[in-house]
Structure 1
């Protein structure tokens, strides 16, 4: 499964094509799905362009995307930094009425266990974001862990070998615990394509898009999200 991560917390200083508004997210969703993406991960924005968890902003983004690509699963971030930030971000999430299919929750964040319980209680799926071996160890100790949708191995290391070592360590913890949830492996910027190749080699799911990086495998600047997805699909299905 290839997931398209359309915007994250990126600004247009990073890339001019980063989608902000609900309409822009819906457009990029359609283009990315047409290019081969099967799921979507987005960060809704407020009127000021900043990331938002407010129910109205979340609903506008989700409804626009679902109108554009009916039936395609849509996931959101719950990152600690998104306003109102920290544990306070649980409050707007509690008030969501239009729900994504899943959210990502990073185990490095101190309220991860609480947030997992909150999200499961609202009937949403969870991508458990693991950045390190310690994150993996914390995750497998949770009674709610088996109820999650998948494990999201997120490699922030920029050196490919260091990234591979981090990923291998996380995978080892999961394997020793006989954990069988699906795994999505992805990198960030310099590690995007090395981790994508590693996901391919291991038969894991992966994701690609402007949240994670702006370059094609050739090193050329991508035109937009669909351009990146297309490049990934060409690697998955070479002519």
Structure 2
């Protein structure tokens, strides 16, 4: 919830084997935010705590669904001490091209969020994969079997982009661990953390992000 909390979790996650950090900075009231001051404080704290690349979300829900307000908030990132290494932008959200163009101008890498087959089709048809830091396939808010099936369909659609840019696959809730194992079997990037699940690989309450990362590393070694 605070920059100090994020820094402590990031340090422990890197020690457990994470090779990048994804986070959602929050304001003084605990709300996810794109506000320059909150983002700057979180980035500075996390970068002092770890040495891996650090990225943030730009989910449009943080500006109440208002794309103009999101662009205005992101434009103020020109005053950050140092911009994030990457930021996730969902292709299905309004003003995707304007948002990614602005971020690139600030030196921020883009991970393009793909939530569905339609998203994957739009990306495959219109965009060059090598213009992005990674493709972020997110099969979230759905049952396990559907998450697995949807992930395979999305990956099939993205097949033409394979190799041009890293693909990261993840899910949430009950599907978080099954989809993580699918990603590892397919040689894809993946992620795990308290944003996605509060349960460890044995479906017991997770202590922290580092515990989840350490278990994911063991799954990777087994795969």
After TM superposition, the score normalised by the length of structure 2 is 0.92
Q: Secondary structure at the match of 1:41?
A: strand
CA contact (8 A) 1:113 1:142 kept: no
Question: Post-superposition shift, 1:178?
Answer: 5.9
- 1:161 Cα deviation after fit: 2.0
- Size of the aligned set, in residue pairs, is 218
State the 1:47 CA deviation.
0.8
Conserved in 2, the CA contact under 8 Å of 1:116 and 1:144?
Answer: no
- 1:42 corresponds to 2:23: yes
Between Structure 1 and Structure 2, the one with more helix by share is: 2
Gaps of 5+ in 1: 1-19
Higher relative contact order (CA 8 A, sep 6+): 1
- 1:64 is displaced (CA, Å) by 0.4
Equivalent residue for 2:86? 102
2:190 to 183, 186, 206: 206
Of 120, 140, 164, 1:136 maps to 120
Of 138, 145, 148 in structure 2, the residue corresponding to residue 154 of structure 1 is 138
Query: Equivalent of 2:44, from 53, 56, 63?
Result: 63
Residue 231 of structure 1: which of 211, 215, 218 is its match?
Answer: 215
Deviation of residue 119 (structure 1)?
A: 1.2
Distance 1:200 1:186, change over 3 A: same
TM-score in terms of structure 1 length: 0.86
Could you tell me which runs of 5 or more consecutive residues in structure 2 were left unpaired when the two chains were aligned: none
